[in-house]
Amino acid sequence: MSRRSNNVRGPTSALTEFLRESGITATSIARRAATAQQNPVAGPSNVNEGHDEESSPNREAREANDEGFDSDHLDSEDAAPIGKRRKLSKKDQEKQKAKGKGKKKKGKKGDDESEGSDDEYTALSRSMFDVKGKASGAKPPMGSFENCVKCEKRFTVTRYTIAADPPPGWLCHQCAKASGADPFKKPTAPRKRKAPEQQRKIVNFDKKVFPSLASLCIKLISEHIEDVEALGDIGSVNMYEIGRVLAKNRCLTPENAPLLYDIKNSQITFHDATKLDPDAFRTLASLNPGLESLRLDLCGRIENSAFKHWESHLPMLTRLELNGPFLVGCDAWKGFFASHPQLTGLLVTESPRFDLACMESLASECPNLVELRLSRVGKMSDEFLEHVGTFDYLRSLELSYPAKSLSTEAVVEVLAKVGSRLTHLDLSGNDLLTDDVLTEGLIPNIRLISSLSLNSIGELSDQAVGDFFGATQNIAFHKISMFRNFDLADKALEGLLAHSGRSLTELNINNWKSVSNDALMTIGPCAPNLTKLDIGWCRNVDDFVIKAILDGCPNITDISVFGCNKLTDNCPRKAGASIRGNEAERNFMS
Amino acid sequence: MNNDVEMKNQEHSNEWVKIVSQDGFSFVIKRDVASQSGTLKSMIGTGEGFAEATSGVCNIPDYRGAVVEKLAEFMIYKKMYGHASPPEVIPDFQERIYPEIALELLMAADYLEL
């Protein structure tokens, strides 16, 4: 009875007949069972893929018999592996499921060896018929021609050919799409069940973070806010510090802000007023009627109604500093100015609504203005400057970072009017200003400026700045800040040090990237009174420059050297002076 | 022999640090408990070369004994429960703070980065 070469087959059982007709073979089933556990169902289209391990002893026999089943062969195949299965199935069922499946499938479908394997049996039937037709018949080899059972057309069998439902037969691509089944859809991966140990370890990220003592204290204080005696002797504590700590923890709320209010208060500073709503601002005014100076940072929620309230409830207010009052509208500003003719300081940062009409109103209602800051005011333009020029008492002027840069002519004009009295000037961020602003605006007009900031004005040239410091008749500066002016380098630095070196306490030349090492070496000896220095991104700073500074400036407390790559680990240090930004230092956060 | 004893003493002396308050009260706590506070950790750490590192004594001159005592208590609390995972129940510390010292304790907590 040669099984190999001829097609004669002896009598077979109904089962084997059925299996052969449907094209179910041992190879395909075993492979499918094995790979179904590991990856999404691999199409049995690759008929000649490798088998999994446990079948290898029987591989030869099976390969010789891949057309169908012989009952003889069936038994012999079953004997060995099923014996194995019996022994092991008591132990690690999950692991053996795959192998068991494979072996089971090799056997008869209606096998009565169902010991403890109802699971496996049903799994078998499920995967046999559940898979979308891909495996329920032996797919003809790729590239061969088949007739579509629906439209009777001839088509080429590909990897994506779908079997017709009901079987048997195969559908051409169009009919497959028409029937709704997407041939290209990847089969869903079988859902893996986690081992029980793994399931228990759930990390809950929404659990509370360990509270800090500061936050606990703040909560406690908020609870006792009404009961002032409970909080002990407040007088001994600096309320400004409390306010600072509250703001630092971002916990300043309408509930605990009243802690800082007092009828005798003359000034209030909130570094973070984010949580205060307009009502809270009204309360602020009502409870601090004697307020003369008010500073609110991050006060985004303040708006017109609160401003209106302030008009009548802060009669003594002379200085108002607001960072971020973007909701306050033009009329509110105008009303406020009208009610506070005694205003001496108005410092506003970030307001898109402060416009020319407001500026006019300010100029006419508050002629005594001493301090003016309009930083990041979206509507600022040259026309504003006409009105700025009318303030006779102006000492401190900042017109920085407008949405559209001021022009040189307008700036020159306003400097002609007010420049001689100014002690602080900041024109940062006006990137259209040219060297002429130095020659025509600053040099002829300024006399008393001690703090000068000309940051981010890209058009300024090295030569012009150097000449400016040479030619200006201003007194020696105390604070100079000219960061992010790319062209400035040696001439500017030399001029600066020659003019003001001895009196400089703060210097910021961040991003003067071409300043030479020699010029930097002169900072130490020429500026002995420096306390704060920013030489970040000046590429030629090295350890010797730092040493010169530490030696030459006994009062230095803060040196910023971010981006100075030539600094090494051996950069000198000094007690009391913090050098921030040295990348080579192991302890980067000093 | 003598050397051995000395080394042992040094190790022991490293283990404890003393925190002294404004009115002279001192509290002796373990070094790793004191390190729960960022400020104290750098004071007693050997990296910066502060005097406290060698002497093992930290002065907190701005705050009274009652406040510093509560600070020490919090540091121990933090050391014990700081790394507790969710199933463990963490006792409440807020109820242990006397309201009378709350304001000063807030400032001290900010200073010590607790």
Q: What is d(CA A382, CA A390) in angstroms, rounded to the nearest whole number?
A: 14
Residue A273 is classified by DSSP as -
Label residue A352 by pLDDT band (50, 70, 90): very high
Closest CA relative to residue A53, chosen from A90, A95, A12, A14:
A95
Low-confidence ranges of chain B (pLDDT < 70): 1-14, 46-49, 86-87
pLDDT at A582: 86
Sheet containing strand B16-20, strands side by side: B26-30, B16-20, B57-59
Find chain A residues with C-beta within 8 A of B110's C-beta: 214, 245, 248-249
Q: Taking CB atoms and an 8 Å cutoff, what residues of chain B touch A213?
A: 71, 74, 93, 105, 109, 114
Is the Cβ pair A237, B107 closer than 8 Å?
yes
Element (H, E) at A177: helix A173-178
Q: According to the model, what pLDDT value does residue A65 have?
A: 46
Using a CB-CB cut-off of 8 Å, the residues of chain A touching B100 are 230-232
Q: CA of B4, closest CA in chain A: separation in Å?
A: 33
**pLDDT recorded at residue B9:** 45
3-class DSSP string for A427-459: CCCCCCCCCHHHHHHHHHHCCCCCEEECCCCCC
Mean pLDDT of chain A: 80
- DSSP code string of A228-266: GGGG--GGGS-HHHHHHHHHHTT---TTTGGGG--TT--
The average pLDDT across A352-372 equals 94
- pLDDT of A365 reads 93
Would you state the pLDDT for residue B48? 56
CA distance A196 to A496: 73
User: Nearest CA to CA, how far is B101 from chain A (Å)?
Assistant: 7
- pLDDT at A334 exceeding the cut of 70: yes
Q: At residue A303, does pLDDT exceed 80?
A: yes
Partners of A345 in the beta sheet? A319, A371
**Other beta carbons within 10 Å of A362:** 25
In the three-class reduction of DSSP (H, G, I as helix; E, B as strand; rest coil), residue A110 is classed as: coil
Q: Which residues of chain B lie closer than 8 angstroms to A231, CB-CB?
A: 99-100, 102-103
CA distance A482 to A454: 5
**Residues A537 and A510: beta-carbon distance below 8 Å:** yes
CATH code for the domain of B89: 3.30.710.10
Q: Is the pLDDT of residue A567 over 70?
A: yes
Looking at residue A132, its pLDDT comes to 47
Are A245 and B47 inside 8 Å of each other by CB? no
Contact criterion met (CB < 8 Å) for B100 and A230: yes
- Residue B49 distance to chain A (closest CA, Å): 10
Q: Within its chain, how far is the Cα of A507 from the centroid?
A: 32
- Amino acid occupying residue B26: S
Residue A235 has a pLDDT of: 62
Residue with tokens 């699971």: A119
Which band of pLDDT confidence, cut at 50, 70 and 90, is reported for residue A441? Answer: very high
Stretch among A135-144, A170-179, A200-209, A417-426 having the lowest mean pLDDT? A200-209
> Is B66 an interface residue toward A (CB < 8 Å)?
no
**Could you tell me the pLDDT band of residue A24, with boundaries at 50, 70 and 90?**
confident
Is 50 exceeded by the pLDDT of residue A110? no
Q: Structure tokens of A284?
A: 């602020």
In a domain, A70, yes or no: yes
Question: Which residues of chain B make contact with A212, given a CB cutoff of 8 A?
Answer: 109, 114
CB contact under 8 A, B106 and A214: yes
**Residues in A touching B91 (Cβ below 8 Å):** none
Closest residue to B106, CB basis, from A204, A211, A217: A217
Beta-strand relationship, A293-297 and A267-270: parallel
ipTM (interface predicted TM): 0.85
Cβ atoms of residues A261 and A290 within 8 Å: no
**Three-state DSSP class for residue A207:** coil
**What is the value of pTM for the model shown?**
0.63
Whether A82 shows a pLDDT value over 50: the answer reads no
What is the distance in angstroms between the Cα of B21 and the nearest Cα belonging to chain A?
16
Task: Inspect the interface and report whether the beta carbons of B101 and A207 lie closer than 8 Å.
Answer: no
Under 8 Å between Cβ of A382 and A407? yes
Range of the domain at A71: 25-86+117-178
A27 to chain B, closest Cα gap in Å? 51
Q: How far is A419 from chain B (nearest CA, A)?
A: 43
Confidence tier at A265 by pLDDT (50, 70, 90): confident
Residue A529 structure tokens: 């009174």
Residue A236 with chain B: CB contacts under 8 Å: 104
| List of residues 6+ apart from B113 with CB closer than 8 A | B37, B38, B39
Mean pLDDT score, A203-229: 76
Across the interface, whether the CB atoms of A231 and B71 are under 8 A apart is answered: no
Structurally, how many domains does chain A consist of?
1
Residue A561 has pLDDT above 60, yes or no: yes
State the pLDDT at residue A229: 63
Quote the pLDDT of residue A19: 83
Is A245 close to B90, i.e. CB distance below 8 A? no
Pairing of strands A345-351, A267-270: unpaired
Q: Give the per-residue pLDDT at A12.
A: 76
Q: Largest alpha-carbon pair distance within chain A?
A: 122
The alpha carbon of residue A246 is apart from the nearest alpha carbon of chain B, in Å, by 9
Instruction: Give B74's contacts in chain A (Cβ within 8 Å).
Output: 213
B81 touches chain A (CB under 8 A): yes
**Disruptive mutation site among A204, A207, A216 for chain B (greatest number of B CBs within 10 Å):** A216
Residue A578 host element (H or E): strand A578-580
**B107: domain range?**
2-111
**CB distance from A228 to chain B under 8 Å?**
no
User: In Å, how far from its chain's centre is CA A533?
Assistant: 30
Q: Are the CB atoms for A441 and A415 separated by under 8 Å?
A: yes
**A479 pLDDT exceeds 50?**
yes
- Res A195: pLDDT: 66
d(CA A245, CA A239): 10
Average pLDDT of A344-373?
Answer: 94
Between chain A and chain B, the number of residue pairs with CB atoms below 8 A apart is 71
| CA dihedral (A80, A86, A92, A93) positive or negative | positive
Is A224's CB within 8 Å of B106's CB? no
pLDDT number for residue B6: 47
DSSP letters for A298-333: S-TT--HHHHHHHHHH-TT--EEEEE--TT--HHHH
Tokens of B70: 């509560």
Is residue A559 one of the residues assigned to a domain?
Answer: no
pLDDT tens digits along A175-206: 878 777 676 777 666 676 666 666 666 665 55
Asked if the structure places residue A3 within a domain, the reply is no
Give the pLDDT band of residue A95 (cuts 50, 70, 90).
low
Question: What's the confidence (pLDDT) of residue A258?
Answer: 84
Contacts of A230 in chain B (CB under 8 A): 99-100
Nearest to B105 among A217, A224, A236 (CB): A217
